[in-house]
Amino acid sequence: MDAAHEDLCHGGSGDNATRSCKNGAARPHLTALVLARGGSKGIPGKNIKVLAGVPLIGWVLRAAVDSGLFDSVWVSTDDERIMKVAERFGAKVHHRSPEVSKDTTSSFDTIVEFLQHHPEIDIIGNIQGTSPCLHPKHLKDVIRMFLEEGYESVFSVVRRHQFRWEELSDKVKVTKPLNFNPAKRPRRQDWPGELCENGSFYFATTDLIKRGFIQDGKLSYYEMEPEYSVDIDVDIDWPIAEQRVLKYGYLGEHAVKNVKLLVCNVDGCLISSKFSGSENDNEKTNDDEKRDASGISLLKGKGIKVMFISDRKFTGEEDPAAKVDCQTEVIVSDKHHFVLKKMKALGASWNEVAYIGCVLSDVECLKKAGVSGVPSDSCPDVKVASTFICKSDGGHGAIGEFAERICLLLNRITSGTAVPH
């Protein structure tokens, strides 16, 4: 927990010691909850569909966990695949009952069912998994409103400048303006606009929820800037959201230190996992090779040590890493032990390690590395262990794509861009 978070209260996520606020009162138990039913109709598999390399709910889970403010972060779901993703991003899993897993079940009823199993919770934040541009800073501000200003309910809004008109119907044959005078149409800069719910989160005390409300009592809103107000409901939102989240989403820059070491598994990452010996099995295009080489060169330019490993043996010109100006450490049977030795030599922690792999023997390193990636053709059990899933297959630019992601993260850390203030 950083100094700013300690200003709120002592004792962060997972702290079993006595929690207290600055005024000496016991700090309430704070929980973040993401509702993620498996049967999405608008976008099948939406909650774990990959958005800019990350499963959709992973974006908000990372923000909640890295905020360091919650005693627990949960995902309520009925889907085994979602459970695995939730755990990978540091959340606990609540197995919701069939009664609250129907198409007609309301979010409120699902929250109530969760709270029946967790009477220790005092304040709960229902964070929407479809809002991938949420940052720890937003959550910190909301928690401050509860702990320092005594609010019972806070929800997120965004300011919109949209002129609204009455809808035509059998009874209404002529429309009329609802929020402006057409004869005096205001300029955008002269009109403050209107506050609209953006669906990013709804926080409330459990006492308020027990009374049947999630927006009542001492109630306020939290205004988010438009660039962070991204909500995905239909497929057409996806390409737009990918561009927005790469620019404004939280990549994990609060939790990951400056990367010192990148370890790449040659087998299935630099060369295709489909390689079987025939001439055409592992043909890389010039663009693939250039992307891999360019990405590695960028990382080296930032002072990052790049190491390739393989459980096979390559000699001389056979080494595929030579094409990206690297060498391969061969016959590495215990990858975890190998990375630990290199970390010790560099004086690095796991948060300063990036790792890209594609097979089960990579999983332990993928889970521990501060930044981890897998090619798109990796098996599901390996994908769920990683924090970034490339669009490229192994042997076809995946390493270059992963290197570009690391550079984007490091640039965020250095410049502070895309972090709300």
Supply the angle between the helices 286-301 and 398-415 in degrees, to the nearest 10: 30
In 3-state terms, what secondary structure has residue 375?
A: coil
Say if 374 falls within a structural domain: yes
Same domain for 127 and 221? yes
Same domain for 82 and 225? yes
Q: Which of 160, 164, 185, 211 is catalytic?
A: 185
Same domain for 265 and 361? yes
CA 420, CA 40: separation in Å to the nearest integer? 30
Same domain for 285 and 166? no
Closest CA to 51 of 131, 124, 126, 157: 131
Same domain for 322 and 269? yes
Same domain for 195 and 267? no
For 19-60, how does the pLDDT look when each residue is reduced to its tens digit (9 = 90+)?
A: 545 445 578 999 999 999 987 777 788 999 999 999 999 999
Beta strands 50-51; 54-55: pairing state = antiparallel
Question: In CATH, what number is assigned to the domain containing residue 282?
Answer: 3.40.50.1000
Amino acid 278: pLDDT: 41
Question: In CATH, what number is assigned to the domain containing residue 157?
Answer: 3.90.550.10
Same domain for 277 and 342? yes
Say if 245 falls within a structural domain: no
Residues contacting residue 23 through CB under 8 Å, at least 6 positions apart:
none
Same domain for 300 and 369? yes
Same domain for 156 and 227? yes
Say if 253 falls within a structural domain: no
**56, 48 Cβ separation under 8 angstroms:** yes
Bridge partners of residue 224, in order along the sequence: 158
Write 95-98 long-range contacts (CB < 8 A, 24+).
96/37
Same domain for 12 and 158? yes
Q: How many CB atoms lie within 10 A of CB 171?
A: 5
Same domain for 23 and 143? yes
Of residues 230 and 374, the one with the higher pLDDT is 374
Of residues 229 and 420, the one with the higher pLDDT is 229
Amino acid 283: pLDDT: 61
What is the extent of the structural domain holding 408? 261-415
For 125-173, how does the pLDDT look when each residue is reduced to its tens digit (9 = 90+)?
A: 999 999 999 999 999 999 999 999 999 999 999 999 999 999 999 999 9
Amino acid 276: pLDDT: 38
Amino acid 315: pLDDT: 65
pTM over 0.85: yes
Number of domains in the chain: 2
> Which one of 205, 237, 269 terminates a domain?
237
Say if 249 falls within a structural domain: no
Amino acid 237: pLDDT: 79
For 207-243, how does the pLDDT look when each residue is reduced to its tens digit (9 = 90+)?
A: 999 999 999 999 999 999 999 998 887 666 788 889 9
Residues contacting residue 357 through CB under 8 Å, at least 6 positions apart:
264, 265, 268, 269, 335, 363, 365, 366, 372, 374, 382
Q: Please calculate the CA angle 10-13-15 and round it to the nearest 5 degrees.
A: 65
Structure-block tokens of residue 136: 């720890």
Same domain for 293 and 175? no
Q: How far is CA 44 from CA 60, 85, 308, in A?
A: 19, 16, 37
Say if 341 falls within a structural domain: yes
Look at residue 121 and tell me whether its pLDDT is greater than 90.
Answer: yes
Active site residue 185: yes
Look at residue 285 and tell me whether its pLDDT is greater than 80.
Answer: no
